[in-house]
Amino acid sequence: MNTPTGYVVVVAAIILVLAALTFWRRRGSTRVPLKVYVIAVAVVWAVILGVMWSLGDIAHFQTFALVCLGFALGMFAMYIAMHVYKS
């Protein structure tokens, strides 16, 4: 897979996630659950990491994977804090 094809795949994934969120809102729900946003972010990350892996760009793959891991750990810490410090 060449680089322009990778960009097209990433943009297509982002458009699909935005379309899914728009569909969710038009379905009648005024609020989108946090789980939907987390799943959307995970889908976009998976597509970007898959494109980087298939392009053979291991340095960028490892760097972005580390950023994804840090963000995921941050979300997990907020989830724990939400249950520990209930108001």
Output the tens digit of pLDDT for each of the chain's 87 residues: 455 666 676 677 777 777 777 777 777 666 666 777 777 777 778 777 777 777 777 887 788 888 888 888 888 888 788 778 876
pTM summary value: 0.54
Number of compact structural domains in the chain = 1
Predicted confidence at residue 23, as pLDDT, reads 75
Structure tokens at 53: 């892996």
3-state percent helix, strand, coil for the chain, nearest multiple of 5: 85, 0, 15
Expressed as residue numbers, the domain containing 67 is 3-84
How many angstroms separate the CA atoms of 45 and 27, rounded?
Answer: 26
How many angstroms separate the CA atoms of 58 and 63, rounded?
Answer: 8
Predicted confidence at residue 6, as pLDDT, reads 62
Q: Which residue has the tokens 């990778």?
A: 6
